[in-house]
Amino acid sequence: MSVQDLDKLINFRRDIHQHPELGFEEHETSRKVRDYLDALGVEHVFGIGRTGIVAWIVGSQEARRASVGLRADMDALPLEEKSGVSYASQHSGCMHACGHDGHTTMLLGAVEYFRNHRDFAGTVYFVFQPAEEGVGGGKAMVDDGLFERFSIKEIYGLHNWPSLPVGRFGLVAGPIMASGDRVDITIHGKGGHGGLNPHGCIDPIRIAAELIHKAHTIVSREVDPLSPAVLSICAMQSGDLSGFAVIPHTARLSGTIRALDEDTRQRVASGLKRLCESLEHYHGATIELLIEDKFGVTFNEAGATESASKVIKACFGEDALERHYKPSMGGEDFSYMLAACPGAYIHVGSGDDDHPHGLHNPEYDFNDRVIPYGVELLVRLAQESLAKQNTKQ
């Protein structure tokens, strides 16, 4: 990649970094991506999954039925940026704290490459996905006919990974990212005076404390130790700190369930349901439990994983692929696309001394050093996939 091409991509990345947008609100981001595609003369369709875009380039070689999809996410997070960079977010309470600005930029770099190098047989599709951050953009694109309207036979996605150094890659066959469920619990008790009449109350804070303590034992005592799982209660709201002698009527909790297989996922959910029912009966309270399916397990198909491993080693060296890599308990709604189409999801190392902060951190900033790695990897993944498909035909 030339210095001029890299500078162009960095400038684009920093522009959308300054103007982040939340899930399904990526109107300006989508417009800028479409303007970039228009300038290249690349065909595309807008509105797949509301604010999503699908672009495509057909190779100049003899027409074949081979096709491959490359995906990037576009949305930001509801965080106040504290990175201190000159191109920091200009939108209060919203920032690109997960590197989706970088992912979008790398995919545009791949578009530009194939626009200038059409010497392949088949079609490369470029999927710009909205609303990855727990809002269901991947599902929205699938439900909107992504794989029916576009003949994508294999699909790949990347994510920058600050815990891996630049030049290293993480990849495993099977589960690479966990399923993710949102947990919301509302405890309805009976409030009153915390000094005068506590025995006449049904204290939701007391119940919440017991529930939190016992919920955090479900994984350790009801799940096979060899099956990774997480249940975390992450937030609680109840009462008012100024009302030091007031027992409130309600307490609200929220949290998440993570697992790498469906049986374990259901075991944790079942344990939490039974716990809520038992506390409800014992304390005489009413407990509402809502478990919302946010995304399934991100599952790498064996053949696509093998192809990706081959590409990484060929492009970046035998040692570039992290040995004995383990799945993450983070979640990713690219899982919906991989559930509908064979493919693989790859972690791309982005950590260095100048970028020590992890994902979803208000001080995080995408490492622009990674852009050439990501562009090359996306290009080579597509080329390998098309070559593999054409060989089989």
* Joined tokens for residue 158: 């990347």
Q: Do 212 and 356 lie in a common domain? A: no
Q: What is the pLDDT of residue 393?
A: 67
Q: Do 339 and 388 lie in a common domain? A: yes
Cβ neighbours for 95, distance < 8 A, ≥ 6 positions apart: 20, 76, 77, 79, 80, 81, 83, 88, 89, 362
Phi, psi of 11 (to 5 degrees): -60, -40
DSSP state, residue 191:
-
Q: Do 243 and 159 lie in a common domain? A: no
Q: Do 385 and 258 lie in a common domain? A: no
Q: What is the pLDDT of residue 64?
A: 74
Q: Do 16 and 151 lie in a common domain? A: yes
Decide: 48 and 146 in contact? Cβ < 8 Å: yes
Decide: 259 and 297 in contact? Cβ < 8 Å: yes
Q: What is the pLDDT of residue 3?
A: 83
Q: What is the pLDDT of residue 164?
A: 98
d(CA 157, CA 176): 12
Count of structural domains, the chain? 2
Phi, psi of 183 (to 5 degrees): -110, 125
Q: Which of 295, 328, 363 is the last residue of a domain?
A: 295
d(CA 101, CA 89): 12
Q: Do 342 and 287 lie in a common domain? A: no
Q: Do 165 and 313 lie in a common domain? A: yes
* Joined tokens for residue 375: 């562009």
Exposed e or buried b for every residue in 231-268, given b needs 16+ CB within 10 A?
bbbeebebbeeeeeeebbbbbebbbbbbbbbeebbebb
Q: Do 75 and 16 lie in a common domain? A: yes
The model's pTM is 0.95
Q: What is the pLDDT of residue 107?
A: 98
Q: Which of 242, 269, 295 is the last residue of a domain?
A: 295
Q: Do 374 and 274 lie in a common domain? A: no
**Average pLDDT of adjacent 10-residue blocks, the chain of 393 residues:** 92 98 98 98 98 97 90 98 98 98 98 97 98 96 98 98 98 98 98 97 98 97 96 98 97 98 97 98 98 96 98 97 96 97 98 97 98 98 97 80
Q: What is the pLDDT of residue 392?
A: 83
Q: Do 210 and 200 lie in a common domain? A: yes
User: In this structure, what CATH number is given to the domain that contains residue 197?
Assistant: 3.30.70.360
Which residue range forms the structural domain that includes residue 364? 3-177+297-392
Pairing mode, if any, of strands 229-237 and 250-259? antiparallel
Q: Do 230 and 290 lie in a common domain? A: yes
- CA 341-344-350 angle, to 5 degrees, is 145
d(CA 97, CA 335): 21
- CA 1-159-170 angle, to 5 degrees, is 95
Decide: 155 and 389 in contact? Cβ < 8 Å: no
Q: Do 44 and 130 lie in a common domain? A: yes
Q: Which of 233, 260, 295 is the last residue of a domain?
A: 295
User: In this structure, what CATH number is given to the domain that contains residue 362?
Assistant: 3.40.630.10
DSSP 251-307: EEEEEEEEESSHHHHHHHHHHHHHHHHHHHHHHT-EEEEEEEEEE--EEE-HHHHHH
Decide: 287 and 251 in contact? Cβ < 8 Å: no
Q: What is the pLDDT of residue 349?
A: 98
